[in-house]
A and B are shown apart, each in its own frame.
Chain A
Amino acid sequence: MPSLKDLRNRISSVKATQKITKAMQMVAAAKLRRAQSAAEAARPYAERMESVLANLASSVTAGGPPLLAGNGKDDTHLLVVATAERGLCGAFNSSIVRLAREHIARLQDQGKTVKILCVGKKGFEQLRRQYERHIIEVIELRGVKQMGFDTADEIGKKIIRMFEEGDFDVATLFFSRFKSVIAQIPTAQQLIPAQIPSNENAAPVEGPQASYEYEPGQDEILSTLLPRNISVQVFRALLENAASEQGARMSAMDNATRNAGDMIKKQTTIYNRSRQAMITKELIEIISGAEAL
């Protein structure tokens, strides 16, 4: 049976923890709002990009450049795993890593070579144990306060450079899609070769398709558009990730705060009960002492 002092200490420490989790929840809520609006602001660009690309790709005959059609091989896979820099956000990081792990296991069963590029520290920490020698690079986003396009562009260019040097054949991006505050969906998306949505989903264009004019030329446009598309996809993934992370952290911290509240209630009951028991015991002692006289 813990003493009254022990119980008091326990209650005050849980209270302190509750204050911290409560503060973290509020911070996450504020950051979430910002991240969410950033993710939404980026959406139209990505959608437009997709429809332009779909338009263009449908008119390209005979393969097209390697970024679109692939380089004909399927041996080495690059996995770009985008996670958060920090923990304490529920299952956010581990669910992305789990998806990546399943993917790696499947690829290795098929005898393919796997290379991993980690964006964000947490994913690296979790993958390091099992796949240390597959990880070729870690990009930390520690210093990045507000996700700008430049950050994504750098990562995109790096991926393209590696592709051109023949370091891999297929690139897949892992991130968490932000559906709502309580639902984040870990997603795998193929970057190279680019997956173009079929033209039926794109905005229907009336009139004769053949009359499209290209300046300077179709190939030049495609060859600038495709690398750009990769950066845009990375950018979108990072923004979705940022929003998902804050959402996950918010609900995790909300749970923690509620748990702490429950625990405080339970401990306080025990504390009051044992205090009452002590008082009763003392009273009985006094009364029986008085009776004995």
Chain B
Amino acid sequence: MAAFHFELVSPEKHLFSGEVESVVAPGADGQFTVLKDHAPVMTTLKAGVVTVSGGEGKVEKLFVRGGFADVNASGFTILAEQAIPLSEIDVAKVDADIRNAREDISDAKSDDARLAASDKLAQLQELRAAIGG
């Protein structure tokens, strides 16, 4: 397969830059895969896992919490709000965060607060599912 340029940046860090063969990203309207010579697309991302296949069976998975994806002729760029490589995530901490989020939902006094809390819970569950195990 032909390779193309992919970059993943978050405000705090430059996480990935290099030639890859395919990237799966969680678009706002569903997951999509980008291969070489993809038509130019710009889309927002929701929380989920970005899977980067670098060829020769090398696969890297990163969790992103929303952001933008920009595919153009010069390559594919993801501007993530926050991004963490899956290997660096602490499972126990995520579980604790999920418990906290559940409590937040039951404690929430206003609808807005409940909505915010359940958004957070959904993100965390997405993350938890991504780690598996």
A42-B12, A211-B39 given; A48·B7 CB < 8 A: yes
Between A and B, 16 residue pairs with Cβ closer than 8 Å are A48-B7, A48-B79, A49-B79, A56-B42, A205-B40, A205-B74, A206-B74, A213-B40, A213-B42, A214-B41, A215-B28, A215-B44, A216-B44, A225-B68, A228-B81, A232-B11
For chain A, residues 15 to 66, give those with C-beta under 8 angstroms from any C-beta of chain B. 38, 41-42, 44-46, 48-49, 52, 55-56
B113 contacts chain A at the CB level, 8 A cutoff: no
Residue-wise, chain B 86-108 has the 8 Å CB interface mask toward A (1 for contact) of: 00000000000000000000000
B29-56, CB under 8 A of A: which get 1 and which 0? 1000000000111111000000000000
| Complex contact B70–A52 (CB within 8 A) | yes
A203 interfacial contact with B, CB 8 Å: yes
B72 near A55 with CB under 8 A, answer yes
- List of A residues within 8 angstroms of B26 by Cβ: none
Residues of chain B lying within 8 A (CB to CB) of residue A49 = 79
Tell me which residues across on chain A come within 8 A of B82, comparing CB atoms: 149
Instruction: Give the residues in chain A near B11, CB-CB below 8 Å.
Output: 42, 45-46, 149, 152, 232, 235
Write out the residue numbers on chain B whose beta carbons fall within 8 Å of the beta carbon of A212: 40-42, 72
**Contact across chains for B42 and A214 when beta carbons are under 8 A apart:** yes
| Distance to closest chain A CB from B44 (angstroms) | 6
Contact of B40 among A38, A44, A211, A224 (CB under 8 A): A211
A197: interface (CB < 8 Å): no
A44: which B residues are within 8 A, CB to CB? 7, 9, 14
> Residues of A at under 8 Å CB distance from B?
38, 41-42, 44-46, 48-49, 52, 55-56, 148-149, 152, 203, 205-207, 211-216, 220-221, 224-225, 228, 232, 235
A52-B68, A52-B77, A55-B70 known; A148-B12 Cβ under 8 A: yes
Contact present for A41 and B14 (CB under 8 Å): yes
Interface centre among A45, A207, A212 (most CB of B within 10 A): A45
With both beta carbons as reference points, the residue of chain A lying nearest to B80 in the complex is identified as A45
Chain B contacts for A45, CB-based, 8 A: 9-11, 14, 79
In the complex, are the beta carbons of A48 and B77 less than 8 A apart? Answer: yes
Q: Are A214 and B43 in contact (CB under 8 A)?
A: yes
Q: Smallest CB–CB gap between A67 and chain B, Å? A: 16
Q: Which residues of B contact A213 (CB under 8 A)?
A: 39-42
User: Would A207 and B43 be within 8 Å (CB), given that A42-B11, A48-B7, A225-B68 are in contact?
Assistant: no
Q: How far is the CB of A42 from chain B (nearest CB, A)?
A: 6
- Among A42, A56, A206, A215, which residue has its beta carbon within 8 angstroms of that of B73? A206
How far is it, in angstroms, between the C-alpha of A49 and the C-alpha of B79 when the chains are bound? 7
The smallest C-beta distance from B52 to any residue of chain A, in angstroms, reads 17
Tell me, in angstroms, the Cα distance from A63 to B22 when the chains sit together. 37
Q: A206-B74, A211-B39 are in contact. List 19 more A-B contacts (CB 8 A).
A: A42-B11, A44-B9, A48-B7, A48-B70, A48-B77, A52-B42, A52-B68, A52-B70, A149-B11, A205-B40, A205-B72, A212-B42, A213-B41, A213-B42, A215-B28, A215-B41, A216-B29, A220-B44, A232-B11
Query: In the bound complex, what is the Cα–Cα distance between A42 and B76 (angstroms)?
Result: 19
A220 partner residues in chain B, CB cutoff 8 A: 44
